[in-house]
Amino acid sequence: MAILIGDIAPDFTADSSEGPIHFYDYIDGAWAVLFSHPKNYTPVCTTELGYTAKLKPEFDKRGVKVLGLSVDKLEDHAGWASDIAETQGAALNFPLLADTNGDVARAYDMIHPNADNTLTVRSVFVIGPDKKVKLKIEYPASTGRNFDEVLRVIDSLQLTAKHQVATPVNWKDGEDVIIVPAVSNEAAKEKFPEGWKELKPYLRIVPQPRG
């Protein structure tokens, strides 16, 4: 059965480049990003891991814990991490899981048999503090992911969770947002005392709330 948005993210225990990880204990009420790599020593994965390491302060600022996953052995991770630091200018600074038996990959439906029977596709899961899947993105093995987009979506998800707003097409942090339809005008007056721009009764635009 596929893992869908709103589902509880499966728990697991696995070895990693930073020691054994019990997933639920590791995230412990935080936001989390779990993303898979087809295998070690592949060029696209090398660029992705290096860029994610550079973004680590941005994930930290948002209270997000990052976990990479490879189906290769733990002993192979150290050499690959050295290559990442050398070629990408950033050392691995988050755990890289060694899912050698494919248990985590199968639990999260990261293996698509029609693409490859053993290697994972480029899956990305954003998981909320309630342990529910908030975002699921899947790329083919040949296409590098856009981790700036992952950060953008996390910003949107965290705004929705805190302020009951949604974000419009191509939204970026700092731009206007939309009051969700579940918030009545009466409730909106309490939440947004400065008012809003009503394009339609269901489309109410308001400056992005802060805090």
Catalytic residues: 45
**How far is 39 from 50, CA to CA, in rounded Å?**
15
**How far is 109 from 175, CA to CA, in rounded Å?**
35
Burial of 80 (0-12, 13-18, 19+ CB in 10 A): buried
In degrees and rounded to multiples of 5, residue 184 shows phi and psi of: -70, 165
DSSP code, position 74: G
Contact 163, 209 (CB under 8 A): yes
Nearest by Cα to 58 from 77, 33, 22, 83? 33
Nearest by Cα to 36 from 118, 126, 107, 97? 97
**How far is 123 from 38, CA to CA, in rounded Å?**
10
Beta-bridge partner residues of 206: 177
Q: Which two tokens stand for residue 22?
A: 């019990």
Q: CB within 8 A of 55, min separation 6: which ones? A: 147, 148, 151
Three-class DSSP category at 181: coil
